Amino acid sequence: MNLLSQIRDLFTDFLFPKSREVVELEALSIDALLSILPPAKNLKDKNTVALFDYEHPLVKKIVWEIKYSGNIKMAQKLGEILYDHIRQEILDLALFESASRRMGQLILIPMPISDKRRFERGWNQTELLAKEAVAHDREKMFKYLPKQLVKYRHTESQTKTASRSERLGNLMNSMKVLNPSSVAGACVIVLDDVTTTGATFTEARRALRAGGARKILCIAIAH
C-alpha cells in the first residue's frame, strides 16, 4: 500500500471509526480466515467456482465490507486467498493449463458494474479484489483486463428479483466486450464477489463468447 493510500485510510478511519468486529476481522491472518470461513457448497456448473459459504455471517460481513465500504484491508486478504485458489484451479483444470502453456497468460476480468452503480458506490468491489489478486501474481500467469467487459445497461439489483428466470431477464444483453480482439481465442477467468443463481455469470459468459473467448472459468468469493 502506498503512502497516499495509508493517509487516506487513516483519515477515513478517523472520520468513520470501524466497528470492533471489523477491526478484529482485519487483524486475522490468512490462515486464521481460512480456518474459520466455511467453504461454499459445490455448484452444479463445473466451470463456476465459489470459495466460501455466503450464509455464514462472517463471510457475509467481509463481502459487505468490501462491497459497500471499499475495505482495502479485507480486499488485500481475500485477494491473496483468491490468487492461491485461482492458481490451484488452473492447475487442476487441464484445459486451462494446456491453454496457458500454448497462449501464455490467461485473462483475468472483474465482473463489471454499471456507471450508475459505480457513481453511487465510488468503486467496483470486484476490481478491488482482482487488483489485490494480481498483486500476488509474480509468475505473471494473468493478463489483467479490468475495462474490457463492461456493463453498458444499468439493471435493477438482483436481490429484487424472485427467480433465476427473472434474474436472467433482468441482465439479458446488459454486458459487452469493448474490444473483442482482446479476448478472441483466449481463456478467460471472470471474478465476482457473490454468485447465487449464476445469472450474472451467465450474462458475462454470453458477452465473452460473443467476443470470441475460447474458454471461460467463473470464480466468486461466496455462494
Residue span of the structural domain in which 204 resides: 3-222
Please tell me the chain's helix, strand, coil percentages from 3-state DSSP, rounded to the nearest 5. 50, 15, 30
Assess whether pLDDT exceeds 70 at residue 103: no
C-alpha cell at 189: 477467468
Number of domains in the chain: 1
Decide: residue 5, CB within 10 A, 0-12 exposed, 13-18 middle, 19+ buried: exposed
Specify the amino acid at residue 145. L
Assess whether pLDDT exceeds 80 at residue 98: no
Instruction: Give the number of residues written for the chain.
Output: 223
Q: What is the pLDDT of residue 188?
A: 94
Least confident among 2-6, 112-116, 165-169, 217-221: 2-6
Assess whether pLDDT exceeds 70 at residue 35: yes
Spatial separation of the C-alpha atoms in residues 115 and 134, rounded to whole Å: 24
Contact of 113 with 96, CB cutoff 8 Å: no
Assess whether pLDDT exceeds 90 at residue 100: no
Least confident among 45-49, 50-54, 146-150, 169-173: 169-173
Q: How confident is the model at residue 131 (pLDDT cuts 50, 70, 90)?
A: very high
Q: What is the pLDDT of residues 188-216, one digit of tens each?
A: 999 999 999 899 999 999 999 999 999 89
Which CATH number characterizes residue 174's domain? 3.40.50
Average pLDDT, the chain: 85
Assess whether pLDDT exceeds 90 at residue 153: no
* Closest to 217 measured CA to CA, from 29, 101, 50: 50
- Which residues fall within 8 angstroms of residue 186, CB to CB, at 6 or more apart? 103, 106, 107, 212, 213, 214, 215
Rounded to a whole number of angstroms, the distance between the first and last alpha carbons of the chain is 29
Least confident among 3-7, 23-27, 65-69, 138-142: 3-7
Q: 209 or 141, which is more confident? A: 209
Structure letter (DSSP) for residue 7: H
Q: What is the pLDDT of residue 15?
A: 45
Q: 223 or 106, which is more confident? A: 223
Kind plus residue range of the DSSP H or E element containing 219: strand 215-222
In DSSP notation, 10-53 reads HHHHHHSPPPHHHHHHHHS-HHHHHHHSPBPPPPS-TTEEEEE-
Q: 90 or 201, which is more confident? A: 201
**Location of C-alpha cell 502506498:** 2
Assess whether pLDDT exceeds 80 at residue 87: yes
Assess whether pLDDT exceeds 60 at residue 109: yes
Best-predicted range by mean pLDDT (10-24, 90-104, 112-126) = 112-126
Contact of 126 with 221, CB cutoff 8 Å: no
Q: 219 or 43, which is more confident? A: 219
Q: How far is CA 206 from CA 92, 169, 215, 223, in A?
A: 24, 13, 12, 21
C-alpha cell at 132: 489485490
pTM score, two decimals?
0.84
State phi, psi for 151 to the nearest 5 degrees: -105, 100
* Closest to 221 measured CA to CA, from 98, 53, 55, 106: 53
As beta bridge partners, residue 50 has 220
- Which residues fall within 8 angstroms of residue 36, CB to CB, at 6 or more apart? 28, 58
